[in-house]
Structure 1
């Protein structure tokens, strides 16, 4: 009788373990299938730029590997990264735009009849002065802020 209890207990434990491992393996199989079945990718900068310019990002599969092309509005296709490198604005373009833009305080001074002058302060730093026809001089930015 004692041997029967040991055998039954052993069988119950063995069946429990095999049942748990079967359910765990099905869980892992489901997770694996979910991760491999999705083909959605996060868009690259090149893909996003292509679409923002009115193009269409197309995945091309070849023997050498997969790559994306940008189909432009006129029907032309070009490698996305090549299109991005040749056309997307760079940091240098942004800097050039900012540095070459007019100083709004100087522009305001001139619009109000003044003359924009550049002078150096005691420390050698350059600053803008607005000089009016009556000889009055004010700091351009102080004048701009006071009137905006």
Structure 2
């Protein structure tokens, strides 16, 4: 079986043989059998789990590159009245241990009707959106967490 054991980050490569489109949970892996969008079957076998982001590439042991594309997901975009209000909303989201992507003026979370209702009850402006989801890493995640701002919205 073909093996992919090296990740080339955005800007470290120029041409890929194929693409693989993955949601956030499938982009955070260490070892997994995968099939590219064009049908290349390979084993992702990394030394540690990494979050792959849109624009990264997986180097296969036969020399080909498979470009990673972030699959748009159904999300909620949360906005507050001002920065202080948005911080209070972020605290509520964190208190529920929800994965969240922090933008300059909004927070993205996976769609959840119960959480949406709670946030709207706290005065948040909540809209549905579809975008790549790159939530913040945990406190114990390695310091090399790759989180580019340009993947924040589509």
The interval holding the TM-score normalised by the smaller chain is: under 0.3
Whichever of the two has the greater Rg, that structure is 1
Which structure has the highest strand share of the two? 2
**TM-score calculated relative to the size of structure 1:** 0.19
Which structure has the highest helix share of the two? 1
